[in-house]
Structure 1
Amino acid sequence: MPYLEINSSHFFHNYHTILETISPNKPQKIAIVLKDNAYGHGILEIANLAKQANIQTAFVKNTQEALSIAPLFNTITILYPSQNAPDFKTALKTPNLYFCAPSLESLQNYPQHTSIELKIDSGMHRNGISKTDLNTAFDLIKKRNLHLKGIFTHNGFGDDVNSAFYTQNMEFLAIKQEALKLCQHYGILRPRFHSLSSSGAMRASQFDANLPQELQDDLYRVGIAFYGYLCSDFQNPPLKPIAALFANKISTLKLKKGSNIGYSGMGILEQDSIVSTYDIGYGDGFFRLRENMQLHSAEGFRILPRASMDCISILTDAPKVCIFNDVRSLAKAFDTIPYEILAHLHAYIPRIVV
């Protein structure tokens, strides 16, 4: 069975790099994003590493993820809660869980005393209420006896060299100023504010730190940087990928030059070779290699097209092969980003922390 090896020393290296870059004097502002099985790395494994680093705040996708790690953090925000989830009522009764409210309708649907974080659209136009609906939202929160724990947005331009990133920062600043006035009007305690993910926090933490205390973000939501990557071309902090994917040999053949390998014979040997199959394929969430793709394992062994559902063919007879220890080359080959390669890996693949 394939397995993912998680390098704990790389995780702690990344944590200290993030801390020194973003918030060296306030470690409590560093929150970890664990959604989608910790970007494919294993939510329980990464949550326990985060606990060892004394990270107090986490963000997850759904109630199932939140409940699985509830004892490990002071607060956990559920970004995409569903009231149809079988464990939704259990989550509501768990005091350190907060629920994202991305619309006025969601405010009307949550039961009284639910702890919520209100999401505002600051220009990405994906999820969140309009700034013009902020007053209506506060009115609903007060009338329905909801507990406003946070107000946040997502600056979706952290990886882009253009003015949109700075425009969104200024828009959220205006939202915070308006929210504080509404808090005073409705007698609501100041909620926590947050807006920046990995790349954005690397760029704007100093801008934020120079604001008056009450207008500063209280958290930075760091996701992909914890796992060793950034997706911008202009930021190069010394992060280390924490995951290496290994596959084990199934069988080996000695084949002649010109032999065809796999479905439709798309893998063609250029010389007499030893070819082995290994126990990972697109059924395990590993992307499907196609004809004419030139991919190699971390050791440099050629991976032959096409990939099958449960196995791939590689020019070696090694008992196990490291498919990747840095996913960027694969992401480039498949014309995507590291997130997608990593998050596709199925949860049943064992995650081993070393």
Structure 2
Amino acid sequence: MSRGTCAYMDPSALRYNLQRVRTLAPGARIWAVVKADGYGHGAVQAAQALHQADGFAVATLAEAQTLRDAGINAPILLLEGTLGPLQALDAVRLGCDTVVHQTEQLTCLETMADRLGQQRIWLKVDTGMHRLGISPGQVPDFVKRIQAIRPLQPVNLMTHFASADEPEAPFTSTQIARFNALARALPGVHLCLANSAGVMAWPESHADWVRPGIMLYGASPGFGKTGLELGLKPAMTLTAPVIALRHIQAGERVGYGARWQAERESRIATLAIGYGDGYPRHAPDNTPVWLSGQRVPLVGKVSMDMLTVDVTDVPQVQLGDSAELWGEHLSVDEVASHIGTIGYELLTRVSPRVDKQWPTD
């Protein structure tokens, strides 16, 4: 039985944000990224809400298997490719497109060329992020080898941006220029560059495919703005009930380590959510929480199952009232900024014991 701590999901927000992608990149097809359990929202439900995307991108074979087990038959792209022949065969069995970002992966695919079926290969090029990808100088040889095992399919080329969330920084332009120089030597190649930040700020990167992730869920990819400020709609509203109210005197302290001290007579509300639910333990005092129609400050250290907020100025708060940790009224990006992290982390850290509720048709 739920203790009342809940993440409410809004599929209409996902569809709205997908349409924003369509509007910003009207000529591109869309890989909707649903890795990390749909950024904490639930991969299957997110994919179902995003069914108008052209395909789904995941990080692992297990994530692809989850989608297939749920009856999702759309194209799936394995963003990190596979490791070894057994994984490569599983990717074929699941009907996944796969990324090749190193020599060993391509060699493996060459040994099983007759079993690849309709699987498309996406060659990932390192244009400067230095995480995954072959060097630009390796591209001609890799393309020749891919064409040998996939002669009837166009070459698919992709890269990943290091700082597309900083539109004033020149490095993304450098990456785009490096990538386009390779593409010009490969007529008919299919291109994929833009992540969420690329979709929003770098129209010259939209190409044939885009692969938005965080913006689909209504959170910001950067730019010093929240998702709400960027015109996105949050798909998750995380709530927890008030389970205790108490009055304390000026000078009294709250929570582990007695970190917070009341400067006046205060009224403290305890909420049924803590780091066991994914709310960060290191959240500082004054991190905002939305309760009874206004912001109230977190006070004291977050514990495993509970946190405390100062509701002295909100006398109408009662036991059982629902507080919003982030969502419709309070952007996850703003909360993340107070905590010293990013919205991505907060969304993906929501633990399995939080009841995730999707509306039923």
Q: Which moved more, 1:120-129 or 1:7-16?
A: 7-16
Q: Deviations over 1:66-87 (max 9, x none)?
A: 1212343521111134548998
- Tell me the CA shift for residue 14 of structure 1: 1.9
AA in 2 matched with 1:154:
H
d(CA) in 2 for partners of 1:64, 1:156: 26
Residues 37 and 347 of structure 1 are in contact (CA less than 8 Å); yes or no, is this contact kept in structure 2? no
d(CA) in 1 for partners of 2:65, 2:12: 27
| Number of the residue aligned with 1:193 | 191
Matches within 5 A, 1:6-85: 6-23=9-26, 26=27, 29-51=29-51, 54-70=52-68, 71-83=71-83
d(CA) in 2 for partners of 1:270, 1:224: 40
Residues 100 and 118 of structure 1 are in contact (CA less than 8 Å); yes or no, is this contact kept in structure 2? yes
| Number of the residue aligned with 1:100 | 99
Percent of matched pairs sharing the same residue: 23
- Aligned pair count reads 330
AA in 1 matched with 2:211:
R
> Compared with structure 1, are the counterparts of its residues 158 and 44 closer, same or farther at alpha carbon in structure 2 (3 Å cutoff)?
same
- Aligned residue among 178, 182, 187 for 1:175: 182
Q: Deviations over 1:78-120 (max 9, x none)?
A: 113454899875443122x112211112212344344332111
| Number of the residue aligned with 1:311 | 306
Residues 290 and 305 of structure 1 are in contact (CA less than 8 Å); yes or no, is this contact kept in structure 2? no
Q: Which moved more, 1:248-257 or 1:304-313?
A: 248-257
| Number of the residue aligned with 2:254 | 261
- Tell me the CA shift for residue 348 of structure 1: 4.4
AA in 1 matched with 2:53:
I
SS in 1 for 2:239: strand
Can you give the 5+ residue segments of structure 2 that lack an aligned partner in the other structure?
312-317
| Number of the residue aligned with 2:221 | 230
d(CA) in 2 for partners of 1:255, 1:234: 37
- Aligned residue among 342, 345, 350 for 2:350: 345
Matching of residue 298 in structure 1 with residue 290 in structure 2? yes
| Number of the residue aligned with 1:141 | 146
- Tell me the CA shift for residue 131 of structure 1: 1.2
Matches within 5 A, 1:212-291: 217-228=207-218, 229-233=220-224, 237-289=230-282
TM-score (norm 2): 0.81
SS in 2 for 1:222: coil
AA in 1 matched with 2:263:
E
> Compared with structure 1, are the counterparts of its residues 87 and 284 closer, same or farther at alpha carbon in structure 2 (3 Å cutoff)?
farther
Matching of residue 155 in structure 1 with residue 158 in structure 2? no
- Tell me the CA shift for residue 3 of structure 1: 1.8
TM-score (norm 1): 0.82
| Number of the residue aligned with 2:341 | 336
AA in 1 matched with 2:202:
A
d(CA) in 1 for partners of 2:73, 2:257: 51
Residues 195 and 220 of structure 1 are in contact (CA less than 8 Å); yes or no, is this contact kept in structure 2? yes
d(CA) in 2 for partners of 1:88, 1:304: 50
AA in 2 matched with 1:177:
R
> Compared with structure 1, are the counterparts of its residues 304 and 120 closer, same or farther at alpha carbon in structure 2 (3 Å cutoff)?
same
AA in 2 matched with 1:172:
F
AA in 2 matched with 1:226:
L
- Tell me the CA shift for residue 260 of structure 1: 2.0
- Tell me the CA shift for residue 250 of structure 1: 3.7
SS in 1 for 2:273: coil
Can you give the 5+ residue segments of structure 1 that lack an aligned partner in the other structure?
181-189, 210-216
d(CA) in 2 for partners of 1:294, 1:274: 15
Residues 58 and 77 of structure 1 are in contact (CA less than 8 Å); yes or no, is this contact kept in structure 2? yes
SS in 1 for 2:303: coil
Q: Which moved more, 1:36-45 or 1:273-282?
A: 273-282
Q: Deviations over 1:206-231 (max 9, x none)?
A: x367xxxxxxx221111121122231
CA root-mean-square deviation: 2.8
> Compared with structure 1, are the counterparts of its residues 175 and 348 closer, same or farther at alpha carbon in structure 2 (3 Å cutoff)?
farther
| Number of the residue aligned with 1:185 | none
Residues 183 and 189 of structure 2 are in contact (CA less than 8 Å); yes or no, is this contact kept in structure 1? no
SS in 1 for 2:202: helix
